[in-house]
Structures are given as structure tokens and as C-alpha cells.
Amino acid sequence: MASFIKSSKNRQKVVSSLDESVKTPSDISDETQLRLNYTSMLLGELKEKDIVICLNEDSKRGRFYSLTDDGKEAFKFIKYK
């Protein structure tokens, strides 16, 4: 899991953005300076690997994302290595 995150600087940016709080894709996009559609694609990849979770999956707009416990552990491993 950590290697999946570390293999992409942009995945690292998204996970780092979610390290401190719950955010929308727009918030993450603004913070990381990545295009919104690319941020959404990265969130989809990270969600498939159970690194992030969408907290309100039924919403069409304004979805909130957070790191899973496994995602937090993987990011700590990368961050402090």
C-alpha cells in the first residue's frame, strides 16, 4: 500500500492533503494545484486500494473524503521514512 502511494508524487500530494482533515475533491485540487478531474481520478485509484474512503457516497456533489486507518498508517510510513 505504501509503495502504491509512493510510486506517484501526485498520489502522495492527495494523501498528504487528507492527512490532517476531511476534504472535498475541490479542496484537494486547490491545495495540491492538480486539476479537479485528475484529482478525482486519483481519489478513485486510492479508494480502490482502500487508502481513502468517501464519507457520503450517495451525494452527487460535495463528496467528502478521508484517509482510512490503513491509509493513515501507510502515509506515516512514507512520511517518516
Q: Rounded to whole angstroms, how far apart are CA atoms 59 and 3?
A: 31
CATH topology for the 2-79 domain: Arc Repressor Mutant, subunit A (1.10.10)
Task: Supply the pLDDT for residue 79.
Answer: 80
* Interval 2-22 mean pLDDT: 95
Do 34 and 10 touch, CB atoms closer than 8 A? Answer: yes
> Of residues 15 and 57, which shows the higher confidence score?
15
Q: Rounded to whole angstroms, how far apart are CA atoms 12 and 23?
A: 15
Q: pLDDT by residue (tens digit) across 45-71? A: 999 999 999 999 888 888 999 999 999
pLDDT at 81 over 70: no
Q: Compute the residue count for the chain.
A: 81
In the chain, the largest separation of any two C-alpha atoms, in whole Å, equals 37
